[in-house]
Amino acid sequence: QKAEWEKLKHAETVTTDGKHIELAANIGTPKDLDGVRNNGAEAIGLYRTEFLYMDSPDFPTEEDQYKAYKAVLEGMDGKPVVVRTMDIGGDKELPYLTLPHEMNPFLGYRAIRICLAEDEMFRTQLRALLRASVHGPLRIMFPMIATLQEFREAKALLEDEKAKLTAEGIAVSDEIQVGIMIEIPAAAVIADKFAKEVDFFSVGTNDLIQYTMAADRMNERVSYLYQPYNPAILRLLKNVIDAAHAEGKWAGMCGEMAGDQTAVPLLVGLGLDEFSMSATSILKTRSLMKRLDTTKMAELAEKAINDCDTADEVVALVEQYTK
């Protein structure tokens, strides 16, 4: 099996009926690039920039950030890179940023909510990203977006910094895609409205599942409710993917579900365009995708959504279709 995967390193990810799917990697630092290249990733689908903040004794400077983003873009040699703006809060803390003690940190002051309130810190990151954009195809992604207002506000700050840099004579790419993570059910439900304004979606299933099922992703007592294959989750995903496609936008996924071998046939059937996962899952997923037919998987996904009542029934159906 390992030998077969090895051969797939430089292969394209195409289904039996010829549909190309983008297989991307999740990274936390530029040091992860070796693993990304060794596993044949076609892109970076999630660069979690909060590690840049967590590994630093104080807020990373614009220059520190610029260097890291440039290293990743150059390291990918022309392949697309999705950089997610800082997602601190929830379970991730910064020693130099005192956050209020909260009853429910996952429902509290986190990610884009902090960035829009601490806008100097956010502008520093946006400037570093804009400057790095000349080094490769950059896609900027905002995490934890719940409302269109939040997206518009974040995008306006980005545009504002871009205008300032341009006025200073600093080059910025005109081809940056700007998208959002879909990880809050409210955004998934009105994905059609978001799709008119964003360039892409990437579904963060780790959070989307916890918020949809009201089951803390870290709490083992309720882990039985953490159900990626629950028809409720599948319906949300279908809504998001269809909404993106209706506006000619692409939809990806960067939560754990994207690399889950039982979920992959369903996600291919739902028409997901990009799958981003830990680099070590890429080759086995490419091997699986090359054995799938999109028409048959679309039929599977439709049955899972319409005919199955429970996650267990969905799993049984997937097994039947991929035997």
What residues are labeled active site?
254
CA–CA separation, 312 and 128 (whole Å): 46
Beta bridge pairs of residue 201: 180, 251
Known binding residue 127? Answer is no
Judged by CB under 5 A, does residue 207 bind Mg ion?
yes
Judged by CB under 5 A, does residue 42 bind Mg ion?
no
CA–CA separation, 154 and 227 (whole Å): 31
Is the Cβ of residue 46 or residue 300 nearer to ligand PEP in the bound state?
46
Element (H, E) at 139: strand 138-142
Is the Cβ of residue 8 or residue 188 nearer to ligand PEP in the bound state?
188
135 binds, among Mg ion, ligand PEP, none (CB under 5 to 8 A by kind): none
Judged by CB under 5 A, does residue 256 bind Mg ion?
no
Q: Are 315 and 262 in contact (CB under 8 A)?
A: yes
Known binding residue 58? Answer is no
254 binds, among Mg ion, ligand PEP, none (CB under 5 to 8 A by kind): ligand PEP
CA–CA separation, 52 and 48 (whole Å): 8
Q: Closest separation between CB of residue 205 and ligand PEP, Å?
A: 5
By the criterion CB under 6 A, which residues form the site for ligand PEP?
46, 48, 87, 183, 204-207, 254-255
CA–CA separation, 137 and 175 (whole Å): 7
The one-character DSSP state at 100 is P
CA–CA separation, 176 and 136 (whole Å): 9
Stretch that binds Mg ion, among 14-22, 100-108, 202-210, 261-269 (CB under 5 A): 202-210
Q: Are 290 and 283 in contact (CB under 8 A)?
A: no
Known binding residue 84? Answer is yes
Known binding residue 183? Answer is yes
Residue stretches of the annotated binding site for Mg(2+):
183, 207
Residues that bind Mg ion (CB under 5 A): 183, 204, 207
